[in-house]
Structure 1
Amino acid sequence: MLGLLLALVTMIGVTSTAALAAPAHQGSPPTRLALAASPMDTVAAMQPSWNMGNTLDAIPDETSWGNPAATKALFDTIKSQGFRSVRIPVTWTDHQSASAPYTIDAAWMNRVKQVVDWALADGLYVVLNVHHDSWQWIATMPTDHDGVLARFKATWTQIAATFKDSPRSLLLESNNEPQFNNTTDAQGIQYNDELNTAFHSVVRQSGGNNATRLLVLPTLHTNSGQTFLDALAANMKSFNDGNLVVTVHYYGYYPFSVNVAGGTQFDATSQKDMTDHFARIRATFTSKGIPVYNGEYGLLGYPDSNHPSRIERGEALKFYEQFGYEARTARVTTALWDPGTWAYLNRTTLQWSDPALFAAIRSSWTARSGTASSDRIFLAKSSAITARTLTLNPNGRTFRGLWQGSTRLAQGKDYTVSGNQLTLTAAALTRLAGKRAYGTNATVEARYSGGLPWKIYVTTYDRPVLSDATGSTSGLTIPTQYRGDQLATMEATYADGSNAGPVNWSPYQEFNVSFSPDYSGNGLLLTSDFLNALRDNTQATLVFHFWSGATVTYRVTKNAGSVTGTVD
C-alpha cells in the first residue's frame, strides 16, 4: 500500500564497471547514503535537484547538442553548489537495435553507468530515465502497439539488469513526457498506464535493489492537469506498492514562458497558473503521503545566451522566487532543467553563465525574497524628471530601505513609503540619472528583512526610432535606435482586424520566433517564419511595444519573395 516504509535503511556501494577509459575518479566508491524512513522523506532529501540536459539525451550522441562529455568534475561542481540530486536523461534509440531483441550497445550502457556512478560517488541521488525515445518510437504505440511494448520492455529489462545492484539512491523513471500520436487524452492515458505497468513489472522482477527501489511514474505529457493526476493515482493504486514517486513538469503559463500573446509579465494569470499546479499536486498526492518529483522546471527558452532575452529579467526573477515558495509549501522536490552551456551551468568552465540568476534560484529553495512591481524606472531624456512609484511585494518580509551600493538612501528625502507604495523623489532620481546617458544610469536595491534584495535599474531612454527597410522573406532587419529602451513584444494585424503572422490566435507574436532585437547591432529582425506567414500584397501593421511604455508603429508588405518596411 502507498506509504509503506522502505525495507532497507542503508544502500549497498558499487564500483563502476564502465568499459570506457575513465579519469582518476573512476575507482571512487559511491557515498553511502542513509535512506529516510519513508518515500516522502527520501524524495524530500533529494531537494534541490538538477537536470544534466542535452547530454546523454542528445541525438544521436552525447556531444551532438553542443555540450561537452560529462565528467566527474561536473558532479563535483553540482554537489558543491548545493544540489542533492541529479536527473540524468538518456536517449537510447541510436544506441539500440530497432528490431528484436532490441539490444542496447554495450559501450553506451557502460558509458551511462559510468556517468551514473560518478554522481552516486558524490553522494547525490540520481534519477535515470528513458528520455527522447518518448517521441522517437514510443509515440507510435497507437499504430505499433505490440512492437513498441516489446521494445519498451526489452529496454527496461536491460537497464534494470545493469543497475539492479546499484545503491537505492538511484531512482528509475519510466518515460519522459509520454506522448502518443493522433490520440485523445483518454487514449493517451490508457497507453501511459500500460507502459507504467510494464515498467513497474519489469523492474520489480529484475531482483537486487530493484525489488524495493523508488520508481518514478509520469502522468501523460507529465502534465499536472487534474485528469492526468487522477489517472496516474488510479494506476499507482493498482500496483499496491509504497515505493513509488509521481513526476510532472512545469514550465509556467505558456504565454509568459515563451513571451507570446502579450504574456510579457509574471502577472496574476501566470501566478495563478503556478499556484494551481502545486495545489492540485498537494491535494492529489503529497497531502496523502505520496511523493512528487517535479522533474523539470524553468521558463522555455530562458535563459539563452545565444539569443536576446525574451523575458524581462525582473519578471523572470519573480517566477523563480514564487516557484521555490510554492514547491516548499506543497512539499514537492524540484529539478531545474539545464540544457547546458548556453543557459545555466557552462559545462566547459563549470561556472554559472549568470551567477546572479543562479543566486536567486538557490535562494528560492529555502527562503522568500521581496520583489517589486518592476525592476526598472524609465526616465525619458526628452522630459523633466518627476517622482516615480513602484509597488513593493514583500512576500512576508519587511521593507528595510533603499541602498545604492553601501550608501543608504534617506527616507523622506530620497524616497517615501506609503503602505506598499515606494516613491522615489524627483531630486533623488535626478541625482541617480547623472548625465542621463541612454541606458542604465544607476542601480539601487530595495532591501527586506530576509532573502535577496530587489535591484531597481534607473534607466534613461527616449522613444526608439525605426527606419524604412527592404529585404526578402529570408529575413528583414529594420535599422533601430533603441535609445536606452528594451523591446517587450510585437503586435501584428491586417487592416481587416485579423492577426498577421504564424501565431494566428493572437495579434502578439512570439519573441525570438517572429521577431528579435539586436541591441548591439542597432537592428530589429523580422524572421523568415514571420514573413513567410504574411499574406502577399497585403500590408501588415506592426506595433512594437517597449518596456518603457513607448510604442512604435511600422508597416510591412510582402510581394512574392521581397519585403518592404516603412515607418508609420
Structure 2
Amino acid sequence: MRRTLATGLAALVTATALAVTAAAPASAGPGRDRPVRTPSAAQVVAGMQPGWNLGNTLDAVGADETAWGNPRATRELFDAVEDAGFRSVRVPVTFGQRTGPAPDHTVDPALMDRVEEVVDLALDEDLVVLLDVHHDSWMWAHEMPTRHDEVVAQFRATWEQIAERFRDHPRTLLLESLNEPQFAGVDDAAGDVLLDELNRVFHEVVRGSGGGNADRVLVLPTLHTNAGQERLDALAGTIDALDDANLAATVHYYGYWPFSVNVAGGTRFDATALADMTGTFDRVRETFVDQGVPVVLGEYGLLGFDRHTGTIEQGEKLKFFEELGHQARAAGVTTMLWDNGQHLGRTSFAWSDPALFAQISSSWSGRSGVASTDQVFVEPGAATDQTITLQPNGRTFRDLRLDGRQLKKGRDYAINGTALTLHASLLDRLVGDGPTGTRAELFVRYGGGLPWRVEVVAATAPVLQAATGTTADFAVPTAFHGDRLATMEARYADGTNAGPHGWTSFKEYDVTFAPDEEAGRIVLRPAFFAEVTDGAQVTLTFHFWSGRTVTYEVTRTGTEVTGTP
C-alpha cells in the first residue's frame, strides 16, 4: 500500500520546517516569511532506513534487464517493497554494455529511458532511490591503470548523461559513483588514489550540472566497498577534501568470509564471525558517523546466498541477521538488503524464507533472543537430556511452547541462567519410535522480539554406500536417517589437505560438495575433483549437525572415480 506524500522523506522535510518555525525569534510574527531548512545528508540517509536492492535486473549483463532471470521491474513490485516496510531502494545499473564508442560514449537512449522509468516507479511509491553505476566497475573502469585517460573520459561522459537526465528529479533520489570499485594490476594503496580521482570527477560532474544536483546527496564508495581501516581512511580523505555537506559514504558487508560461504569449518556464527562484524561497524561509526558523515551499507547479506540460501544453516543465518540489524542501528548506519531475486518474489511478491525476512525486519526496530542452536537431534528409544544455551540479547526468558501451549517447567524442561535443558522424558515423548526427521517444533519465547524456534529431529547414524562415477558426475549414496550434513573434510593418506582451498581440510559447501537428502546422496562437484591428485586416495570426513562423523574413501583415476565407505 502506498504511503501518502506527507510521509517518508516528505514528512521529514515538513518536520524540519516546523522545527525551524518553532525556533524562529518572536519578532517573526504572522505573515513574515520563515526559513525552510533542507534536510541534511544525515537526515536524508536516516530516512532511507531500511533499504532494499533491485539486484540482477538493470545491472544484468546481457540483452536487457531480464538477462539474469528476473522479470522487468513493475510498479507492483515497488508497492510490495514498500508494503514490506522498506523506505528506500537501490537501483544498480550497468551502463557500459550499452554505451557507444569514444569520444561521446553515448548511452543507449532506450536504456536511459528505462532507468528513468524504474526510478520514477520507485519514487512514486514514496521510496527514496539510490542509483548507482554498477558492473561497469569490472567491465571497463578497472582498466584505469593501463587506460587512464580513456577510462576517465568514459566515466565522465557516463555521469554527464546521468546527471543531465536526473538534474530535475527530487532530492529523494541519491546518486552513487561506482559499485565495488576495483583496479587491475595495482595494489590497494594505488587503487585508493585512482578511486579518489574518479570520485572527484563524479562530484565535479554532478554538482556542475546544476538543478537539483546542486545539493543532491552523493554517495561515495571505498575501494572494493571494503570496510578495512585503510580503505575507510582513504575515502575520509576524499570527503574531507571535497568539503561538501551533502556527501555520504558507502561500504558493503557480507560477513566473515569462511562463515559467509561455509568453508574452513565456518558453519557457525561464532565469536570470530561476531568479532568481524563488530569491528566493521565500529570502524565505520568512528571514521564517518561520529564525524558527521552518514553511511549507507549499500549491500549486505551472505555470499553463499549467491548460490542458494541453504548454504548456511537456518539458525546460524538468523543469528547473523539479528546481530547485523542491532549493530547497524547502534552505529547509525542505513542498511540496504541485497536481493538478486532469491528473497522477494518479483511476481509473487512473497518471501522465499518468511522466517529469515521476519528476523531481518524485526531487527530494524529491536532485538530478539536467540540460542546456541535451532535443532536438537534425538535417537529414537535413546533420548537423553539435552541442553542449549540461550542468548537473550537483553530479553528475559518467558516460557517454552509446543503447538501454542506452554510446556511445564520442571517436568518438561529446566532453566538455569542461560542453560535451557530439555528433559529426556519430553524428547522421548516427542520422538517416540516413529520415523526419522523433524518430529516437533519448540518455541523459546522471550519478553519481546521474535520467539526462537527449535526443531526436535529424530535421527540415527547416516549410512554411506560404495559408488562409481566420473569427475563430472559422482555422488555418494547416503541414507541420512534424519541427520543433516554440516561440512566435509578431505585429506590425502599422508594427512595433507585435498581439493580446493588447500590451506584447510574443510571444503566449501555447495561448491565442492552438496547434500541431496531427497535423492539420498551427497554430490561431489567437478570443482572438487579438479584439484584432487590423479591416482591418490582421499579420505572424506562428513560432519553432521548431530555431532556424528562418517568417513568415506574416494579415488580419482583420470576421469573415473570410485568410492567406498
The TM-score by the shorter chain falls in which range?
A: over 0.9
Partner of 1:242: 245
| Mapped contact 2:262–2:304 kept (Cα < 8 A) | no
TM-score (norm 2): 0.93
- Once residues 401 and 194 of structure 1 are traced to their aligned partners in structure 2, the CA distance between those partners, rounded to angstroms, is 58
Distance 1:537 1:295, change over 3 A: same
Secondary structure in 2 matching 1:497: coil
1:550 corresponds to: 548
1:320 matched to 2:325? The reply is no
Counting only pairs closer than 5 Å after superposition, residues 70-149 of structure 1 correspond to structure 2 as: 70-149=73-152
Partner secondary structure for residue 93 of structure 2 = coil
- Identify the residue that residue 58 of structure 2 maps to in structure 1: 56
C-alpha distance after superposition, 1:214-264 (max 9, x if no partner): 000000000000000000001111111010000000000000000000000
Q: 2:43 aligns with which of 41, 63, 66?
A: 41
- Counterpart residue number, 1:224: 227
The runs of at least 4 consecutive aligned structure 1 residues that moved more than 6 Å come to 8-11
- Structure 1 length-normalised TM: 0.92
User: How far apart in 1 are the matches of 2:92 and 2:300?
Assistant: 14
Please state if 1:269 is matched with 2:267. no
Alignment correspondent of 2:281: 278
Q: Which residue of 1 aligns with 2:500?
A: 502
SS in 2 for 1:294: strand
Specify the alignment match of 1:560 in structure 2.
558
Structure 1: how far apart are the matches of 2:375 and 2:11?
51
**CA–CA separation in structure 2 for the residues paired with 1:434 and 1:174:** 60
SS of residue paired to 2:442: strand
Deviation digits for residues 408-437 of structure 1 (CA, Å, limit 9, x no counterpart): 000011111111100011111111224432
CA–CA separation in structure 2 for the residues paired with 1:35 and 1:474: 64
Shift of residue 530, structure 1, vs aligned partner:
0.4
Out of 430-439 and 508-517, give the one that drifted further.
430-439
Whether contact under 8 Å (1:370, 1:397) holds in the other structure is yes
SS in 2 for 1:512: coil
Q: CA deviation at 1:542?
A: 0.6
Contact 2:12-2:39 within 8 A present in 1 as well: no
Partner of 2:310: 309
Matched to 1:565, the amino acid is G
Matched residue type, 1:542:
L
- Partner of residue 415, structure 1: 413
Give the Å deviation of 1:72: 0.8
Amino acid at match of 2:187: T
Deviates more, 1:193-202 or 1:343-352: 343-352
Partner in structure 1 of residue 23 of structure 2: none
Shift of residue 303, structure 1, vs aligned partner:
7.6
Task: Pick the aligned partner of 2:158 from 151, 155, 158.
Answer: 155
1:36 is displaced (CA, Å) by 6.6
Unaligned runs of 5+ in 1: 1-7, 12-33
Helix, strand or coil for the counterpart of 1:270? helix
Other-structure match for 2:5: none
Paired residue secondary structure (2:434): coil
User: Which shifted more, 214-223 or 352-361?
Assistant: 352-361
Q: Which amino acid aligns with 1:153?
A: R
Equivalent position to 2:217, from 202, 210, 214: 214
- The whole-number CA distance in structure 2 between the counterparts of 1:76 and 1:227 is 40
Offset at residue 329 of structure 1 (A): 0.2
What is the CA-CA distance between 1:10 and the residue it aligns to? 8.8
**Counterparts of 1:337 and 1:376 in 2: how far apart (Å)?**
27
Cα separation, 1, equivalents of 2:115 and 2:377:
51
* 1:331-357, Cα deviation, whole Å (9 max, x unpaired): 0000000011xx101112111111221
Identify if the C-alpha distance between structure 1 residues 530 and 415 changes in structure 2 by more than 3 Å, giving closer, same or farther: same
| Identity percentage of aligned residues | 55
Aligned to 1:22: none
Distance 1:482 1:97 in 2: 56
Q: Does 1:346 align with 2:349?
A: no
Conserved in 2, the CA contact under 8 Å of 1:35 and 1:42?
no
Conservation of the 8 A alpha-carbon contact between 1:35 and 1:169: no
CA–CA distance in structure 2, aligned partners of residues 275 and 370 of structure 1: 18
The SS at the match of 1:352 is coil
Q: Residues 369 and 390 of structure 2 are in contact (CA less than 8 Å); yes or no, is this contact kept in structure 1?
A: yes
Distance in 2 (CA, whole Å) between partners of 1:372 and 1:273 is 20
Q: Distance in 1 between matches of 2:73 and 2:264?
A: 38
1:289 to 281, 287, 292: 292
Corresponding position: 1:377 with 2:380: no
